[in-house]
Structures are given as structure tokens and as C-alpha cells.
């Protein structure tokens, strides 16, 4: 075996990428941004950065979220490491990915949204730089599994919401239609919702009732699952 100096093991970079999900107008959204430098200039990517020597993975991921929405107090979970040898054209870079859930617009304190930084429906995401399409695919699979076992979807909803909005969210993440009657029957069985005493006045037609999640049940299911 060829002898390798210890210094050779330290000649690589570590980056952090964050998949940010939001839910708006009945669509699951993902935040993407345009790269300004070569070799991927003008290509789209997920937000990310190379970490500094004194920076932890969590600090780096929270810094990315803070830069995007002006707030780091969101649901953020480490996803996986991506280490294909040639995933970065400039050298060996190991990427540690996270995914975050954003309550739009309540969690957004300040953000850049222009031609180079935007939210886009997940089904319309273009080809991304690096291996970011693989990162997004795995993050969406993880989100789907979490949604089935825990009430994580509420992190994407405002404090008050309609049952239609809740079902639309589940259908978007699971990527399949759900039977309205069975969906609401399961919600009743879980006893996770509390009906508010007023209606959604933003709808000019019929006024659907608004709901909030039961905090006690929510924390119980988040810890132990359904």
C-alpha cells in the first residue's frame, strides 16, 4: 500500500447544505438560489456554504437559515452526509445536509427574493448544481417518513388553519391524493386539533372553520409518534 502522509488526510473541505421547505397557496415550496461564481455560475442550487475551521455544523446550518429568512428559530434536522469523490468540481468536499421547515410567512423576518433567490414549488425545481437534486430527493423522502409517524407538518402551517389547508399539505408532501372523509376521521381519532370559535374570513364564499393543534397531544406525538 502506498504510504500517505498524515497531511493528505486534511486536504478536503466540509460544507453544509440546507433544504428549506415552506407551504404557500396549497403548494410545498423549496428555496433555491443562483450561483454567481464559476464553475457553476448562473446555475441553481440549494443554500449552502463551506464551514469555517471554528464553526460547528449546527452553527453553519443556522447561519444559512438566518441569511435566507432573517430568523434561525425553526425546525431544523440533520439529514445525511454526501461524499461522492467528484461531487464538487474544485476538489474533495464532504457535504452535510440539513432540512428545515418554515411557517410562511410568520417565520420569515427578512429574506431575499428576486431573480436569483426564490421559493419554487417542489415539483418545478430545475436541475441543480453539485448533487443537490439528490440532496432534495433524500430530504423529501425523510420529510414524508416523518409526516407519516409524527405531526411534523404543523411546523409548515400558521397557528390557525383550515382542514382543507391541512389536507393539501399532507397531499403535497406524500405526493398522492387523500380521501377527505378518511383523512378527517383519522384526525378526529388522534384528537390533535382544537376548533377555534371563528371562521376564515379571507374566503369570500363559504367561511370554513379554523383550527389549532392541541399542544399537549402535539408534543406527545412528536416525542413518541402516532
pLDDT tens digits, one per residue of 108-158: 877 766 788 999 999 999 999 999 999 999 999 999 999 998 889 999 999
Residue 63 — pLDDT band, cuts 50, 70, 90?
A: very high
CA distance linking residue 28 with residue 23, whole number of Å: 5
Cell of 60: 453553519
* pLDDT per residue as tens digits for the range 5-58: 777 777 788 999 999 999 999 999 999 999 998 888 999 999 999 999 899 999
Beta bridge partners of 38: none
Q: Looking at residue 202, which CATH number applies to its domain?
A: 1.10.10.10
SS3 125: coil
Of 149, 181, 216, the last residue of a domain is 149
- Residue 9: how many other CB atoms lie within 10 Å: 8
* pLDDT per residue as tens digits for the range 79-99: 999 988 888 888 888 999 999
Give me the DSSP letters along 24-65: ETTEEEEEEEE--STTSTT-EE-SEEEPPTT--HHHHHHHHH
Residues 137 and 124 grouped into a single domain? yes
CA distance linking residue 39 with residue 46, whole number of Å: 16
- 1 in a domain, yes or no? no
The pLDDT of residue 217: 81
Of 149, 176, 211, the last residue of a domain is 149
Residue 202 — pLDDT band, cuts 50, 70, 90?
A: low
- Average pLDDT in the 62-75 region? 93
Of 98, 129, 149, the last residue of a domain is 149
Q: What is the DSSP letter of 12?
A: -
Residues 12 and 77 grouped into a single domain? yes
CA distance linking residue 84 with residue 135, whole number of Å: 12
Residue 201 — pLDDT band, cuts 50, 70, 90?
A: low
Amino acid at each position: 500500500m502506498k504510504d500517505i502522509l498524515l497531511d493528505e488526510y486534511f486536504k478536503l473541505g466540509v460544507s453544509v447544505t440546507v433544504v428549506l421547505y415552506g407551504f404557500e397557496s396549497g403548494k410545498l415550496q423549496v428555496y433555491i438560489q443562483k450561483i454567481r461564481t464559476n464553475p457553476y455560475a448562473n446555475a441553481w442550487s440549494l443554500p449552502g456554504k463551506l464551514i469555517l475551521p471554528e464553526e460547528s455544523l449546527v452553527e453553519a446550518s443556522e447561519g444559512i437559515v438566518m441569511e435566507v429568512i432573517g430568523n434561525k428559530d425553526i425546525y431544523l434536522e440533520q439529514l445525511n452526509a454526501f461524499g461522492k469523490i467528484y461531487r464538487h468540481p474544485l476538489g474533495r468536499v464532504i457535504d452535510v445536509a440539513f432540512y428545515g421547515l418554515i411557517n410562511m410567512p410568520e417565520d420569515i423576518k427578512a429574506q431575499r427574493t428576486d431573480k436569483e433567490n426564490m421559493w419554487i414549488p417542489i415539483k418545478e425545481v430545475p436541475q441543480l448544481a453539485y448533487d443537490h437534486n439528490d440532496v432534495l430527493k433524500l430530504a423529501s423522502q425523510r420529510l414524508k417518513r416523518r409526516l407519516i409517524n409524527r405531526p411534523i407538518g404543523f411546523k409548515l402551517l400558521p397557528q390557525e388553519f383550515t382542514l382543507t389547508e391541512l389536507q393539501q399539505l399532507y397531499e403535497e408532501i406524500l405526493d398522492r391524493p387523500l380521501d377527505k372523509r378518511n383523512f378527517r376521521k383519522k384526525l378526529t381519532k388522534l384528537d390533535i386539533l382544537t376548533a377555534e370559535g371563528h371562521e376564515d374570513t379571507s374566503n369570500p364564499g363559504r367561511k370554513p372553520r379554523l383550527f389549532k393543534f392541541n399542544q399537549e397531544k402535539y408534543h406527545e406525538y412528536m416525542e413518541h409518534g402516532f
